[in-house]
Amino acid sequence: MNTTLSIDQIWKLLHSIPDPEVPAISIVELGVVRNVEFTDADVVITMTPTYSGCPALKAMEDDIKSTLSKEGINSVKVKMVYKPAWTTDWLSEETKAKLEAYGIAPPVGRSSDQLLPFATLKTKVSCPFCKSENTKLTSQFGSTACKALYYCDGCHQPFEHFKCH
């Protein structure tokens, strides 16, 4: 691959690309970029989807290509892998704080808590606005595949929760 940029510099560039649906965090912070490597002819970016049908994937791919193209890298291949499956366990505490500051309650608990379909989930989701734990689930599905809808009985505001997945 004919470029003066290093792998690290490419990671930095990717870090500047916001998630198309949750622009408060970058696609790297979201955990969907798994690997960056050079082959003879291309930069190969390996990605994994958050949810199988996430419509933002295409937008992310386009954003990656246009960002790298501005740096003179035009031969970019985006490879999709399914394993290991994306999980919110990969979100750092810093990323979770960014979500909360943006008004989205971050995931609570570990992904493995979610494996039993009939178990009652005991996790408490705090309101991102007033921090009250007096909240309730309105809908398990929200405006995007990765979010659920909640209502805060403390400040009487509806809010979105980034589901633990």
Q: Which residues bind other proteins (CB under 8 A)?
A: 49, 51-55, 81-86, 111, 114-115, 117-118, 138-143, 145, 149, 165
Closest distance of CB 144 from other proteins, Å: 8
Contact 154, 98 (CB under 8 A): no
Spatial neighbors of 87 by CB under 8 A, at least 6 apart, are: 31, 111, 165
Pick 10 or 54: Cβ nearer other proteins: 54
- Alpha carbon distance 105, 139 (integer Å): 14
The CB-of-9 to other proteins minimum distance in angstroms stands at 30
Structure tokens at 151: 């209502």
What sign results for the dihedral spanned by CA atoms 43, 44, 50, 53? positive
Judged by beta carbon, residue 2 or residue 143, the one nearer other proteins is: 143
Q: How far is the CB of 148 from other proteins (least distance, A)?
A: 10
Q: Which alpha helices (DSSP H) does 31-149 contain, by range?
A: 56-70, 93-102
- If the CB atoms of residues 70 and 115 are measured against other proteins, the closer one turns out to be 115
Q: Which is nearer to other proteins, 67 or 111 (CB)?
A: 111
17: its two tokens: 């690309």
Nearest distance, CB of residue 107 and other proteins, angstroms: 13
